[in-house]
Chain A
């Protein structure tokens, strides 16, 4: 019974982690940017969905739509207002740009987080779920929302996979992650590819944020830990490797669930961190890393 419960709960959480980390790793793989406002964008999407669905009474679907749109808009704003300006400026040496982008996205994340806290308070918010009720799987009473979360996560990841592997734009995007110069030489405008990546990322972060809001709830305090967990998962899987992040998301998700059920919820983050440290020492490139 406990076994099945862990299996089912862990699967839902891991799927959510996987979706959140996929966008994060995509941005890194293609544009080389570690976006530290990641958690804030997810929270903003969730809070927008919560406000529209609940406070303004537009229902679960309206909320979800606005939430995803919020992620999309904020992601593009991050790119145009901050990342691109820093990438194109000549007053910062190339080798220093990384720390500037990290610092700037971090500050931007804090701004979003504080704006949310100011406008909507610090309280935890649960987004009106699209499906509710409870179903019984293998004797485990599982909220339908949990199944819905896992299904949507995998549908979104599947769409991303199809986009990257089956469409021309997606292929170009994948190629840009391997060799940006090569893509330029074949006549693709790199700047368009970057905009496309940030747009895709925004949608993924929006979906992940809204689902998180329905499943576990969010508050403005969640922003930092969300960024940190995405970062850890992505590094564990190997920076830039989407398949690596998917595997790592499940490893971390199940480790946390196991610890929470079998030891104590207070310790849930520790085994994953320990694993991360071990991997960093033994295999610094991560499980599937190529850089």
Chain B
């Protein structure tokens, strides 16, 4: 067997106090595809960026074909033969596709002022190879999303790297586009390159990779063939949790069956050329807890932002029968549909109490005090942290503050976007308890977006599964595991 091209040994990367990557070791041989898998916040993207020197590792070694490159500048590592296909690329908008691909072929020299015929021919060949031959003279802005992704592959291939790092190759692609894209990656392997693919779950890359290295909160949890990893107990626990407990109330038990509190009908959202949501319809009844589960990039945040009036959409979003379109985001919020966003959006240099008071700015002083007391009961830690700046809180405390700040607005409906993102299990437990208490003791309606199924299902009355911007499943949480559970590994 040939020697490995890329060897990562005991790599560690810290951001301030946070250990993003801890003691990660793997290697890839020429003609091999390794899948680096982990849920959001597991550190997999950081590993990739550390290999390329974008975030130089704090410890351990990275060897490219036997040469230690840890600590080198990215362009030096790239020149050693490491290429990367970015998930979010920014092509040169005023240049043609041809010129964008040509860029990848250019030497890092100031004296190379006139490209020779061979280089231009090579750019055309690469374009043909990835299937962009017919759009060479178009500008990137006029291309569909899938072609833009192909252009990124073309740029990476153009440098003829021996090692290719691919970040979430299939995000935002339809299943047919996915197949074409997977074929391009296979061809890279067949050319003898070592390929590292970073993705969220095993399923999406199972057909493509030779081996899998699974991570969770910065550390290795499993490694081996696709089947080994799929059978691995730790992996199953991370993705599916233990036995799922559900306590759903039947849909018929809600009074507003005909005109639900919130009705989303045939929603489409575009970001430029890329369609983020396609024909999404869902409803939420008054007092109901509805979960929208889906992987990162499935479109959950876009859905919530559309409901909150933060992104333009086509289709209808109705509250108790009245369309919300045309209302400003602030008006939607004042109307009682309040979002606790994924990014938290806290006022980091204000105290915890000031953050909460801003949430309750429209209440009378008595109401505000009463509300604060109630929330301190729900999240006692916030009371002890009252005078501290929000930016100095731990991740879990910040999440609680985000939820509490939204609740200060006395909402009719709370939209919770990824409340467990990057949190330790203990903290998840606390947030879970608070949600349960809300469900038991208040008439609050909740729309919860999660990729963590274990967290979401116990609270949900009904579940929607969002995939590539479309609702692919809806139903009772008790049927979830049997129907769609396997997709979540």
Contact = CB atoms under 8 A, between A and B. Distances in A.
Pairing of A with B: yes
Interface of A: 168, 171-172, 174-175, 178-179, 181-190, 290
A178 B347 CA distance: 6
7 contacts: A168-B361, A172-B358, A175-B347, A179-B345, A181-B345, A186-B361, A188-B330
Interface string B469-483: 000000000000000
Contact of B350 (A174, A188, A190): A174
Nearest to B344: A182
B354 A171 contact: yes
A-B interface, 4 closest residue pairs, ranked by CB to CB distance from nearest = A182-B345, A187-B334, A187-B333, A175-B347
Interface string B343-354: 101111110001
A244 to B, nearest CB: 13
A178 B357 CA distance: 16
Contact of A185 (B339, B348, B354, B362): B339
B226 to A, nearest CB: 40
| Most B Cβ at <10 Å: residue of A171, A182, A290 | A182
Contacts of B349: 178, 290
Contacts of B50: none
Contacts of A174: 347, 350
Interface of B: 308, 310, 328-331, 333-334, 338-339, 341, 343, 345-350, 354, 357-359, 361-362, 405-406, 409
A168 B341 CA distance: 23
B310 A187 contact: no
Contacts of B329: 184-185
Contacts of A181: 310, 341, 343, 345
B176 to A, nearest CB: 32
B362 A178 contact: no
B350 A185 contact: no
A95 to B, nearest CB: 10
Nearest to B391: A178
Contacts of B328: 189
Contacts of B331: 187, 189
A174 B361 CA distance: 14
B361 A185 contact: no
Contacts of B341: 181-182, 185
Contacts of B346: 179, 182
Nearest to A190: B330
Contacts of B405: 186
Nearest to B408: A186
Contacts of A187: 330-331, 333-334, 338, 362, 409
B347 to A, nearest CB: 4
Given A182-B346, A185-B345, A186-B409, 10 more contacts: A171-B358, A178-B348, A178-B350, A179-B346, A179-B347, A185-B406, A187-B334, A187-B338, A187-B362, A189-B331
A171 B357 contact: yes
Nearest to A174: B350
B348 to A, nearest CB: 6
A147 B89 CA distance: 58
Nearest to A188: B330
B338 A185 contact: yes
Nearest to A93: B93
Contacts of B348: 178-179
B308 A185 contact: yes
Contacts of B357: 171
Nearest to A241: B349
Contacts of A184: 310, 329-330, 333
Nearest to A290: B349
Nearest to B336: A187
Nearest to B390: A178
A189 B358 CA distance: 13
Contacts of A171: 350, 354, 357-358, 361
A194 B347 CA distance: 17
Contacts of B345: 179, 181-182, 185
B358 A185 contact: no
Contact of A175 (B330, B343, B358): B358
A170 to B, nearest CB: 11
B364 to A, nearest CB: 12
A286 to B, nearest CB: 16
A5 B348 CA distance: 43
Contacts of B358: 171-172, 175, 183, 186
Contacts of A172: 358, 361
B138 to A, nearest CB: 19
A125 B385 CA distance: 55
A175 B361 CA distance: 12
Given A181-B341, A185-B341, A189-B328, A175 B350 contact: yes
A215 to B, nearest CB: 34
A171 B359 CA distance: 11
B469 to A, nearest CB: 22
A148 to B, nearest CB: 34
Contacts of B350: 171, 174-175, 178
A189 B308 CA distance: 13
B330 A189 contact: yes
Contacts of A183: 358
A159 B350 CA distance: 20
A182 B348 CA distance: 11
Contacts of A186: 333, 338, 358-359, 361, 405, 409
